[in-house]
Amino acid sequence: MADDTPRPHKRRSRYRGKNPRAFHEKYKELDPLRYGADVEKVLSSGKTPAGSHRPIMVDEILECLRPVPGEMAVDATLGGGGHARAILERILPAGRLIGLDVDPIELPRTEARLRSEGFGPDVFTVHHSNFAGLARVLAGEGLVGANVILADLGVSSMQLDNPDRGFGYKESGALDMRMNPHKGLPASQVLARTPVDRLARLLEANADEPHADSIAAALKATPIETTGDLHEVVCEALTALRLPEEEKKASVRRTFQALRIAVNDEFATLDWLLRSLPELLAPGGRVAILTFHSGEDRRVKKALQSGHRDGLYASISGEVIRPSRDEVRANPRASSAKLRWAIRSAPQT
């Protein structure tokens, strides 16, 4: 017999002040389909709504990739799907796009969102993988190479803003930082297991941190379990050095970046992609890579230059491409973005 007992209405948790501050309190921003007008207000103010992501340098990427109807495209870092949507709109009809993402939480959300916009499995397929698995994915799809490949190496706003993911310090949460929370060690355990000398070298190698020794010593002097702990300890270590406030903030950002790179083995994965790209691109295929810090950009620049010298690429970007002032003003998270591209050589006849 069915239970017809009315269930009590569950009230939404109240927050202090006029506007919500914590990520999980921003219920309107987290439900854009229902509260579209409120989300538009946030966007027009130059901020990114909670739980969403603003794709960066879309026009510049499309200019580099020049996708046309009927082509085979790959978005190797699907994220929120903004770049994929723009590419799909240009390769249809008859084109296809394969989207890869290592994040098992955001991938199904992005797939559902693009499906709701009319991109069915005949034109858009997804794979839970980082771009080191791209060769396997293409082989599984019966493809030799792609006409278009995009790799956006940035962390999405959905990951940065959600304290449950442990990537940022705007709101304290467990220090995790794993793109795939089901695999590998969280950042708190990486910190606990890494000797102080090796930690200092990690900060230098992954983020060019000039105060690596002082920060590493402070990080090993006390247990760190949350992003708030990490932020506080780094700030205290730098305060002792009497650094200007802006320099302290930059070192905090670099410390978080260096740990995230280590937790997810990002440089090794990027190096694999750069070595494999010539085999993954069809003759005349185009690749665009969006980076967000100097360590990534150096690797991409050197790999493309080497491929060009060896005749693997017919053409590469001469200078790095940066976002416009208008985009940075509208989306400050675009400020550190750098874009490079290459075109695969045709086979010699």
pTM summary value: 0.85
Is there a domain that residue 48 lies in? no
Q: Are residues 225 and 278 both part of a single domain? A: no
Does residue 226 sit in the same domain as residue 275?
Answer: no
83 or 54, which is more confident: 83
Q: What would the mean pLDDT of 323-330 be, rounded to a whole number?
A: 94
Domain co-membership, 94 together with 238: no
What pLDDT score does 17 carry? 56
176 and 215 co-located in one domain: yes
Domain co-membership, 260 together with 294: no
pLDDT of 58 strictly over 80: yes
Same domain flag for 171 and 259 = yes
Same domain for 234 and 282: no
Range of the domain at 123: 58-152+267-344
Any idea what the Cα angle at residue 156 is, between residues 104 and 276, rounded to 5°?
Answer: 75
Over pLDDT 70: what percentage of the chain?
Answer: 84
Supply the pLDDT for residue 197: 98
Domain of 79, CATH number, reads: 3.40.50.150
Q: Quick one: average pLDDT of 189-198? A: 97
| Per-residue tokens: 225 | 């379990």
Verify that 143 and 276 share a domain, yes or no: yes
pLDDT at 1: 47
Q: What is the mean pLDDT of residues 52-71?
A: 94
| Whether 79 and 136 share a structural domain | yes
pLDDT tier at 19 (50, 70, 90 boundaries)? low
What are the residues whose beta carbons fall under 8 Å from the beta carbon of 322, sequence distance 6 or more?
Answer: 337, 338, 339
Q: What is the mean pLDDT of the chain?
A: 89
**In b/e form, how buried is each residue of 150-179, taking b as 16+ CB within 10 angstroms?**
bbbbbbbbbbbbbbebbbbbeebbebbbbb
Interval 238-263: pLDDT, tens: 988 888 999 999 999 999 999 999 99
In-domain check, residue 334: yes
User: Residues 103-161: pLDDT tens digits?
Assistant: 999 999 999 999 999 999 999 999 999 988 999 999 999 999 999 999 999 888 888 88
Judge whether 44 lies within some domain.
no
